[in-house]
């Protein structure tokens, strides 16, 4: 949907949308050659779109400690994936903890029964971080596709 990607690019260039360096690593550095999303991020998003998560280590540590000790009993594979230092999800929430003006956009759903993964909405709820779906983001920015 070119109109969607053009709108995302415009909002990024205008400083209304941001992500973090850990997402850049996942999408661009570790992305597959020829992947359309990798190419879009590399070629059409400004360098300033990917903010440094370096200042978020303390918040990241709190999130990791929660994941390891919460009563959800996540599987060891879920915890290993979540605790990998280049896995962006906990860093995104950590960044939003440090910057309460930011809202996380995710298509993941809340589900208290999931143990094989640690969904972003569950982490957001635990730490009081707001999150919305992509369609809600588009509405809030008056983007019509």
Could you report how far apart the first and last alpha carbons of the chain are, in Å? 8
What is the structure's pLDDT at 71? 87
Give the distance from CA 143 to its chain's centroid.
21
Residue position matching structure tokens 């589900």:
111
Please give the mean pLDDT across all residues of the chain.
Answer: 94
pLDDT, tens only, 63-89: 999 999 998 889 999 999 999 988 999
Q: Is residue 55 very low, low, confident or very high in pLDDT (cuts 50, 70, 90)?
A: very high
What is the structure's pLDDT at 95? 98
What is the mean predicted confidence (pLDDT) over 124-129? 97
pLDDT, tens only, 90-112: 999 999 999 999 999 999 998 88
What is the structure's pLDDT at 143? 86
Kind and range of the H or E element at 47? none
63, 94 contact by CB (below 8 A):
yes
pLDDT, tens only, 26-40: 999 998 888 999 999
Question: Residue 130 carries which DSSP code?
Answer: -
Q: Is residue 114 very low, low, confident or very high in pLDDT (cuts 50, 70, 90)?
A: confident
What is the structure's pLDDT at 101? 96
pTM (2 d.p.): 0.93
- Rg over alpha carbons for the chain, rounded to the nearest Å, is 16
What is the structure's pLDDT at 53? 97
């Amino acid at each position: 949907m070119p109109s969607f990607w053009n709108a995302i690019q415009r909002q990024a260039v205008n400083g209304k949308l941001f992500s973090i360096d850990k997402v850049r690593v996942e999408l661009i550095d570790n992305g597959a050659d020829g992947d359309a999303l990798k190419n879009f991020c590399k070629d059409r998003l400004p360098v300033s779109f990917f903010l440094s998560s370096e200042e978020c280590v303390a918040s990241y540590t709190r999130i990791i400690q929660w994941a390891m000790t919460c009563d959800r009993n996540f599987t060891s594979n879920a915890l290993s994936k979540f605790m990998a230092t280049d896995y962006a999800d906990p860093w995104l929430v950590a960044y939003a903890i440090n910057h309460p003006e930011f809202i996380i956009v995710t298509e993941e759903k809340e589900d208290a029964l999931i143990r094989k993964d640690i969904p972003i909405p569950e982490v957001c709820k635990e730490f009081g971080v707001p999150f919305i779906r992509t369609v809600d983001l588009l509405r809030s920015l008056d983007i019509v596709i």
